[in-house]
Structure formats: C-alpha cells, structure tokens
Chain A
C-alpha cells in the first residue's frame, strides 16, 4: 500500500502564543453570557406547551360538570400497550341529570408505566371524553402510584369546552321530542 507523507506545517508566531484561540473561546463565552437564556430552571420554571402536545391522558367533563365518558371501552380496545382498564357500569335511572346517559365508567384506570403517549385513545373516543393534555411529567415512588384512577383522571382533565352537549340534547329530546 502506498504511503502518502503529509508535511505538517510549522505553527506561525501568532499561533504559538495561543492568544487568538483564547480570545476566540472567550468571545463565545461572553456571547452566551449576554445572550437570552436557552434553558429553564426546570422544576420552578415550566416550558410553554405547544398546542396538540400529547401529554398524560386525562378524562374531561363537559361544561355542566357531567362526565362525558360512557365506558364504551374503545380506548381500552385500541390502546397498544394495554394501559387502559375500564369497569363499565349502569347509571341508575333516578339521577335526573344523568339518567339519559345510561352508562358510565365505574372504574377507569390508566397505567402510566405502560402508557406510550400515542394518543390513539383520544383519537378513537366517540364521546370526546379522553384527551392527552399538557402534563408531561409523571412520577411516583411505587408502581401503584403510577396508575391513574378515575378521580385522578378527572382531576387532571378538568373541563374542556364542548361542541355537542350530547346529554342536554338527549334530555331535551326525551322531554319535548317525538315522545310517545
């Protein structure tokens, strides 16, 4: 194999003093000192979350404070890592505001150790009841703590504006509709 001999150029005088290199490095340092900060003091400062961010999945209520989930279990079915577990139940007929709903979750658990934040549950939900909202940080000391139960999911989810008010429509139909 042919060997190519490369001639190393001798350093110039300026280079031998190292001053241009030191000045160049300090220039970068001082530039960052005076520039706008790129980082956040994380636990105290929180980043602005862009719209459409897929954070922790939560359950939301409609503006009337009724739970929207009807426990159809489509999210449980579609969930790729099988993180969601729902126990469906019947809503008794004696609840005047919710009786038209008929069905709601008795228990709704999302195992955040399994969740991969894919957002399929939000996409599949026919009632617009589950949303991946802004919360990005979940931590806990035990595995059990990492399972979000129904009350926690509603606490995280809060209320989102609603386009449909399905249950109000159902109630109105039952009261004034084509009743027999």
Chain B
C-alpha cells in the first residue's frame, strides 16, 4: 500500500479550544476530536450529509478582516483578532472546516435552537419509551434529557400512524416514532445499493415507506435498524425480546465469511439476544450483513453435541482422549482441519499433525460474494491456516485426495476438527473404512459415524483470533459460558497433542499465544491481551501467489493476477 500523502490540516477553534483537523472534516467530527458532543440525528459519518434534522445547529464565525485591505481587524478589548459571528445558527454536519473557523457549541443561541428542534420533534413522537426497543440507546431519549422541556405545550391531538408495518422480512416499522431523518433511505441507496425506501406525503403526514411492490429485503436491511436514531425501525427478530440495558456487550467477529466484520454480541445471563456491527473503518465501517446476525441461534440449536462419546456410548473427556490416542498409535492418521477454527486452534491442529506425521486437509466453502461484506470465501479463517502452516496451498471443496487415500487403504484414522466429512465428499462406505475422531459443536453424519466424539464450543463461547481476507488478525472474546458437556476446542486439542506426543501441552490461550507469536514473526511482541480491537495486519507477501477466491468487497481489493504472478 502506498502511504497516503499527509492531508492538509486546518486549524479551527471550537468552544475556545484550537484543533488541527484534516481539510473536509465537518464541524461535528472536528468537535468529536475535542470530545465535544454536537447532538445530531440525520448525520451519520458513513452516509451523505442531508442536514434535515437541524439538531446539530451551532454558532460559527470567522476572523474579521478589513474588506479593502484584507488586514486583520483586532479587538482592542482582548488584543486578538475580532471574530465576526454569523447572527443565525448553522448546521454542524453540513459545515466543513475552514482555516480560522470559530465555533460555539454551548452558547445560549445554540441551546435555544436545540430546545426548539427537540420540541418540534417531540410534538408527534409517541410516549412509547416503556415499550420501545430503542429505549436506552435512543438518541431522542438522550437529547430529551438535555434539551427537552419535560412537558408538552401541544394541546392538539398527536398524529396517529401505523405502529407495526412490515417493511421486509426482518424489519418492522413503527411510523409514529419516525423523526424523518432519512438515514435508512440514504443507507439503502448509498451502501446497500438497493433503493427501496422513501418518504411519501408532506409535512406531518410524511411517512417512510417502501416503493410500491418492493420490500426492504436485502441482506443489509438490519443496518437500517442500527442507524435509526429512534425506535422507528425495529428488528423483527429482537423486537420486544429484552431491554438493552440488561445486555452485556462482548466484542466478536462475524464468522460467516472471510470479511471478518467486527461485531458486538449482546447477551444476558448466558443467552445471546442479538448481534450488531462494531465500527472498524478498515474492515466493515459500521455495517454487517443480516445473515451474520442470526448465527447466535446455533448456540442453542437442538442438534448441539453435548456428550463425549466413545464408540457411541457416553464417556468422559480423558477416557475419550485416551481412546483417541490408542487410535493414533496405529499410525496413518489424516487430519481435516477447519477454516472455521481460530488461529490458535489451527496452531494446535498443526502441532497434532506434526506429532502424528499426519496429512492435513482443509475444506473450502465458496459462495457468491456480494461486493460489500459477504466475500466469496465462506470460511472465516483460511488465511489463519496458511499463517500457522496447517496448509500450504488453498483448500478445495471436496476431499478427493483423502478419499483416494482411504480407498487405497493408506488411512486408518481421521481427525475431523468440526468438519462434516460427508459434506466434504467422502462417502459413508469410505467413512466406515476408517476410525474417526470428531471434534465439533453440532451433530452431523460424521459425528454419527465417529468412534470418538469430543464436543467443543461455538465462537460465542470461547476466545481466539481469526485472520480475515486482508490478512488482518482480529480477536473475538467469550460472550457466554460454554454449553454443558462441551469443552474448549483448545483444551481438547491440547489434550490430544499431549496424548500424541507424551509431553504436556497447555490449552491456555495466553500460553498458546506465546507459541503462536514465536511461529508468526509478524506478531512480534503482540499478545492476545494487547492485540488492538481493530486488528493487526499481518504480512501477506508469502501468500501473494495463491489464487484466493475472494472478489472485491468493502475495503478489500484482491491482488491483481499479474501482480500475484510476479510476486
């Protein structure tokens, strides 16, 4: 990447404090850098500026100069250059900084303006806060405490609008609550590129609606719920499920594709209620796909594997590990790793493969990329397997090599780390020829055929890291306790490695990380604890020649084939 030239800096004065900000920054963002909050509804940093909510009104002025001579006019009282304040408030979102710009965000005029805007917004806003899902994270609620009157002067009847319109399969609209900020419309148009929303009617009759015959059903529709500053757009899945102030937020990563969208998992007492995007300007901005938001349902799926099994009978972990070690003694082991495992798990899988002199395989899942946040590679961590050395070449969708080896009688035992071998192209007859050790979260044909079944955890129940398509290593944290009967993948793998090598290997995350940072030079002094929240870019040059399947997505351009050939 070519380092971008240093942007021109512009010095502005906000509430008496000077700050240098890049040219083109607007007043809201400049104030944010000074930790000054300019309230706003319609402005969103990743969307175009429309300036229709009028909440971000500020007072601004420029240093006075003599019109004829352009010489600065000094204020004799202070000895500084006089400021010509504009007598009317201006919107902060639509005002870009210019050299010497002075801004007041706390003056009486600004306070009056905000209070006036709030009063108008609240005229028709229903008193739904006790039942509104947005309560607790509602900008209108927040600003009402700062700038609301506390009572209404409106003696006429409030507007009545539809309360539960289905805009699409996942979004429910409460029209009364809408403050017509148009964020959702702009999102659909500019980011999702699916222009289906618009306002109809005028004045207080204005209503958000879909174009006739269309509905909000694209795979990014739930982002409109996230950016809605009030509770007008609600997620049909999360609607009336739990108040947000009960939910614990845990940073996580979307495992759906190799994009590695940053997410927040919201849980209460071991139950996940929703997943929302987390801002990372290098990866997913503030968006994520709808398909990634329902992944939490796998945690409580009916087909979760919950018991350690040896030969079909319930057993204990240590007995099962010993049984697996007995199988390993026969030699001829093949290991099917997973692009869904974390980097740490892949490292231990690699250690297991080295100890058993086993061949390693990976299963690829390729879908269609949507050029935004769903990439073609549906495994979140194929690059982690490359970085840890678990595989040297890109995986294929079917395990044809392994199938041929089984048919030739070269394989006696297969260790599958969460992969369904039947789905990966092995027949039931081939599975019957070998002994299978299955580590996994959900039941499938492989777990049914396996000699040893070791239940492990889903991504929400453990901590670890994934390497996304940009070779950015990003961490996810444990949101909820592990399911009963299941053990952390790292612990299970460490026990298997210990049994195979005869030396004790720790399955503790920080200990595994010591091995990992020794194995991956790019990590250097980084530990799991101090890995930045926005991730860390690893060196991708050793793998530049590999023909990765991903097409272009948000913040990712695949290397040009010519460049890859020369690299």
Contact = CB atoms under 8 A, between A and B. Distances in A.
A72 B130 contact: yes
A177 B245 contact: no
Nearest to A93: B164
B423 to A, nearest CB: 37
Given A77-B243, A88-B240, A70 B130 contact: yes
A59 B131 CA distance: 17
A83 B335 CA distance: 51
Given A90-B239, A173-B160, A174-B160, A180 B201 contact: yes
B211 interface: no
A73 interface: yes
Nearest to A103: B131
B6 interface: no
Contacts of B158: 173, 177-178
Nearest to A88: B240
A81 interface: no
A100 B245 CA distance: 25
A74 interface: yes
Interface string A84-96: 0000111001000
Contacts of B130: 70, 72, 74, 126-127
Interface string B155-180: 01111110110000000000000000
A74 to B, nearest CB: 7
A1 interface: no
Contact of A102 (B131, B157, B204, B241): B131
Contacts of A173: 157-158, 160
Interface in A31-66: none
Interface residues of B, number: 23
B205 interface: yes
Contact of A88 (B159, B201, B241): B241
Nearest to A129: B130
Nearest to A91: B240
B246 interface: yes
A126 B243 CA distance: 15
Contacts of B164: 93, 102
A103 B157 contact: no
Interface in B170-220: 201, 204-205, 207
A180 B207 contact: yes
A180 B161 contact: yes
A72 B127 CA distance: 13
A179 B156 CA distance: 13
A180 B241 CA distance: 29
A77 B131 contact: no
Interface string A140-180: 00000000000000000000000000000000011001111
A77 B135 CA distance: 13
Nearest to B130: A72
B567 interface: no
Given A70-B130, A74-B130, A103-B131, A178 B240 contact: no
Contact of B131 (A70, A177, A180): A70
Q: Name the prevailing secondary structure of the B interface residues.
A: loop
B157 A178 contact: yes
A102 B243 CA distance: 15
Nearest to B242: A88
Contacts of A73: 242-243, 246
Nearest to B161: A180
A88 B158 CA distance: 27
Nearest to A102: B131
B157 A177 contact: yes
A126 B127 CA distance: 11
A180 B205 contact: yes
A72 B159 contact: no
A73 B246 CA distance: 9
Contacts of A103: 131, 240
Contacts of B159: 177-178, 180
A77 to B, nearest CB: 7
A87 B164 CA distance: 21
Nearest to A173: B160
A99 to B, nearest CB: 9
Contacts of B245: 77
Interface in B243-259: 243, 245-246
Contacts of B207: 180
Interface in A102-142: 102-103, 126-127
Contacts of B239: 90
A70 B239 CA distance: 14
B237 to A, nearest CB: 12
A118 B246 CA distance: 21
B116 to A, nearest CB: 22
A126 to B, nearest CB: 5
Contacts of A100: 163
B267 to A, nearest CB: 16
Nearest to B175: A180
Contacts of A93: 164
B243 A72 contact: yes
B243 A177 contact: no
- In order of increasing CB-CB distance, the 7 nearest A-B pairs are A72-B130, A103-B131, A177-B160, A178-B159, A126-B130, A90-B240, A70-B131
Given A72-B130, A76-B246, A77-B246, 19 more contacts: A72-B131, A72-B243, A73-B242, A73-B246, A74-B130, A90-B240, A102-B131, A102-B240, A126-B130, A173-B158, A174-B160, A177-B157, A177-B158, A177-B159, A177-B160, A178-B156, A178-B204, A180-B159, A180-B205
10 contacts: A73-B242, A77-B246, A88-B240, A88-B241, A93-B164, A102-B163, A173-B157, A177-B159, A178-B156, A180-B161
Interface of B: 129-131, 135, 156-161, 163-164, 201, 204-205, 207, 239-243, 245-246
